[in-house]
């Protein structure tokens, strides 16, 4: 029995908590969640005060800014944080959460472009916590709304109307807002998550059925000519195709469509659409290739999503590590072993194989090239699972790999939290300087 909070919980209670986490963390999202979070913050500030927007001011962490300037935004033919903020203030629906831009029209897009001179975005360079920080002020003809979004992409820490606090509370130490060390998912062993995915009544994880349908639709869009770099098609052109190649292609195609900014929602995981794609598409494809039932695929997805949430809770919602390569691969490994009929030992070994392979891959921002990271990490995770089924494991003491998968993922989490702040600062400044140089060049 494990201790949570002030008392002991039964196995049924603990599984109920996991179900709540699954349904909270696996949600539809329209567009890349980086710029969408900015649009959400601007929309929430606008909705706080009402009226016609006159001016928007955004202050945000370096990762949310630098790593989201190259990705398409649904409803508009522009990229960048400034246009996301403008679009959120002009036409965003904050109550829709990660689908804040779902009602954008061509007229709204034109208004948002015209409104750009009234948008001011600043980077909080000295913010070095592992997490997300976006403050938005929107002045309208009725006053000013102010919100702070932190820790998760649609999590409002506090809300002000004309300088008066009306929701939440001020945080003097923002580290306490973004610290994920006490997330409930971290109270669970990997084996418990797998047991939950195997035992939960199938009707209670209908979100996984929705994920299958939703993410397959956007993947099919990614195969159309001219969508992104068509990496999904490119992978299929590699000689000697296999079910694993097909699974990698499926993941890449969905990312192609999403990074292009096509107006199709994805089922996100842990507030990331690309992470949701990577957690699900390879397992959907492999499940279908292996002739598995819808229920078997849904249970594999439930394991994958929850393992990914746990890994992202350890490394941070915004991390120097690529969550698609690391967190999603951990999820795929657990789900894939389930599809192959393996047990706790094989899941443990597959996750250790994944960390031994893809640990250290960095996130240099949302962009078309993410499709290659998604496909590569998907292939590694699937292959790691097959090797684990055949008794081939990376042993404890081999680099960051420990004797168990639980110990391994927690050590990786410590590295993300304690060891990457300086390197991440350097990466963001280099990308910022490069982008400034590129934007100054004649087109």
For the segment 32-55, the average pLDDT, to the nearest whole number, is 95
Using alpha carbons only, give the angle 232, 233, 239 rounded to the nearest 5 degrees. 110
pLDDT value at 6 more than 60: no
Identify the H or E element spanning 269: strand 266-269
For the segment 97-125, the average pLDDT, to the nearest whole number, is 94
Question: Rounded distance, CA 424 to CA 320, Å?
Answer: 6
pLDDT value at 7 more than 70: no
Nearest to 282 by CA among 371, 387, 408: 371
Question: Rounded distance, CA 239 to CA 241, Å?
Answer: 6
Range in 233-242, 299-308, 366-375, 430-439 with the lowest mean pLDDT: 430-439
Question: What tokens does 333 get?
Answer: 């490994």
Three-state secondary structure readout of 179-245: CCCCCHHHHCCHHHHHHHHHHCCHHHHHHHHHHHHHHHHHHHHHCCCCCCCCHHHHHHCCCCCCHHH
Nearest to 185 by CA among 312, 273, 297: 312
Q: Label residue 127 by pLDDT band (50, 70, 90).
A: confident
Percent of the chain with pLDDT over 90: 74
Q: Say if pTM beats, i.e. exceeds, 0.75.
A: yes
In tens, the pLDDT along 147-175 reads 999 888 889 999 999 999 999 887 655 55
For the segment 326-334, the average pLDDT, to the nearest whole number, is 97
Q: Give residue 178's pLDDT.
A: 52
Question: Rounded distance, CA 41 to CA 275, Å?
Answer: 21
* Residue 147 and residue 159 in contact, taking contact as beta carbons nearer than 8 Å: yes
Please classify residue 262 by burial: count the beta carbons closer than 10 Å to its beta carbon, then call 0-12 exposed, 13-18 middle and 19+ buried.
buried
Question: Rounded distance, CA 384 to CA 127, Å?
Answer: 37
Q: Label residue 2 by pLDDT band (50, 70, 90).
A: very low
């Amino acid at each position: 029995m494990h201790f949570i909070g002030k008392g002991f919980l039964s196995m049924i209670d603990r599984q109920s908590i996991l179900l709540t986490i699954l349904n909270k963390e696996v949600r539809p999202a329209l567009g890349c969640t980086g710029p969408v979070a900015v649009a959400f913050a601007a929309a929430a500030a606008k909705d706080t005060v009402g009226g016609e927007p006159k001016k928007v001011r955004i202050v945000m962490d370096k990762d949310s800014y630098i790593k989201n300037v190259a990705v398409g935004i649904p409803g508009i033919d522009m990229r960048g944080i400034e246009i996301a903020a403008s679009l959120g203030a002009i036409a965003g629906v904050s109550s829709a959460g990660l689908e804040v831009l779902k009602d954008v029209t061509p007229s709204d897009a034109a208004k948002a472009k015209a409104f750009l001179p009234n948008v001011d975005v600043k980077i909080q360079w000295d913010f070095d916590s592992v997490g997300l920080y976006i403050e938005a002020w929107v002045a309208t003809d009725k006053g000013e709304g102010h919100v702070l979004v932190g820790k998760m992409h649609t999590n409002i820490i506090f809300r002000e109307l004309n300088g008066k606090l009306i929701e939440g509370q001020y945080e003097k130490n923002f580290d306490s807002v973004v610290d994920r060390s006490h997330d409930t998912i971290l109270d669970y062993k990997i084996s418990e998550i797998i047991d939950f995915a195997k035992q939960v009544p199938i009707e209670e994880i209908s979100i996984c059925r929705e994920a299958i349908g939703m993410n397959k639709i956007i993947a099919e869009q990614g195969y159309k000519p001219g969508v992104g770099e068509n990496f999904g098609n490119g992978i299929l052109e590699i000689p000697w195709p296999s079910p694993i190649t097909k699974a990698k292609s499926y993941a890449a195609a969905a990312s192609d469509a999403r990074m292009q900014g096509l107006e199709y929602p994805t089922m996100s995981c842990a507030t990331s659409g690309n992470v949701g794609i990577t957690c699900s598409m390879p397992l959907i494809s492999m499940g279908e290739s292996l002739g598995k039932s819808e229920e078997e695929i849904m249970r594999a997805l439930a394991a994958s999503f929850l393992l990914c949430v746990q890994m992202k809770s350890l490394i941070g919602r915004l991390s120097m590590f690529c969550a698609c390569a690391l967190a999603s691969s951990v999820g795929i490994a657990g789900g894939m072993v389930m599809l192959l009929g393996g047990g706790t030992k094989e899941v443990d070994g597959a996750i250790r194989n994944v960390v031994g392979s893809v640990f250290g891959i960095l996130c240099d921002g949302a962009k078309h090239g993410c499709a290659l990271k998604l496909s590569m990490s998907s292939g590694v995770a699937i292959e790691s699972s097959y090797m684990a089924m055949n008794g081939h494991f990376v042993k404890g003491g081999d680099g960051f790999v420990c004797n168990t998968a639980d110990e391994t993922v927690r050590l990786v989490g410590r590295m993300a939290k304690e060891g990457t702040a300086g390197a991440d600062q350097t990466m963001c400044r280099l990308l910022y300087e490069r982008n400034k140089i590129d934007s100054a060049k004649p087109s």
